[in-house]
Amino acid sequence: MALHPLKPCPFCGSQDIRRADNILTDKDCPNITGPTEYYFFCNQCHASSKRCPAPEASLLFWNERTKVPKPRLDWLDYLFFATYIILASFILWQVLDAVRPMISFH
């Protein structure tokens, strides 16, 4: 196996990364063992890599695992949101103004 140093967990920073070897069995014939899948997982927060048929590949997947950035609102989003609300209420006002004479009983 090629020497790839295991990177720490991208989520919690733990160095306690372990490899899981799952022997896939058919639930209808549990005595017959199927192929093995490998993945790495963090023993702290249980984040795991993609499951692969080869341990080397799962290691590469673990090392490429990056933190998914949390979407967060910044001032530009609030500006867009405010503009949207103002525009939407303006359009609604116009539509109501156009419709009002049609539904009026006078």
Site for Zn ion in 38-67 (CB under 5 A): 42, 44-45, 47
| Nearer CB in complex with Zn ion: 45/57 | 45
- Least Å distance between CB 37 and Zn ion? 20
- Least Å distance between CB 63 and Zn ion? 14
Q: Are 51 and 58 in contact (CB under 8 A)?
A: yes
Return the residue of 11, 19, 51, 57 that touches Zn ion, per CB under 5 A.
Answer: 11
Q: How far apart are CA 87 and CA 90, in angstroms?
A: 5
Cβ atoms < 10 Å from Cβ of 59:
23
Phi and psi at residue 40, in whole multiples of 5°?
Answer: -105, 145
| Nearer CB in complex with Zn ion: 38/62 | 62
Q: Are 55 and 38 in contact (CB under 8 A)?
A: yes
3-state DSSP call for residue 76? helix
**Binding residues for Zn ion, total number by CB under 5 A:** 8
14 binds Zn ion, rule: CB under 5 A: yes
Binding site for Zn ion (CB under 5 A): 9, 11-12, 14, 42, 44-45, 47
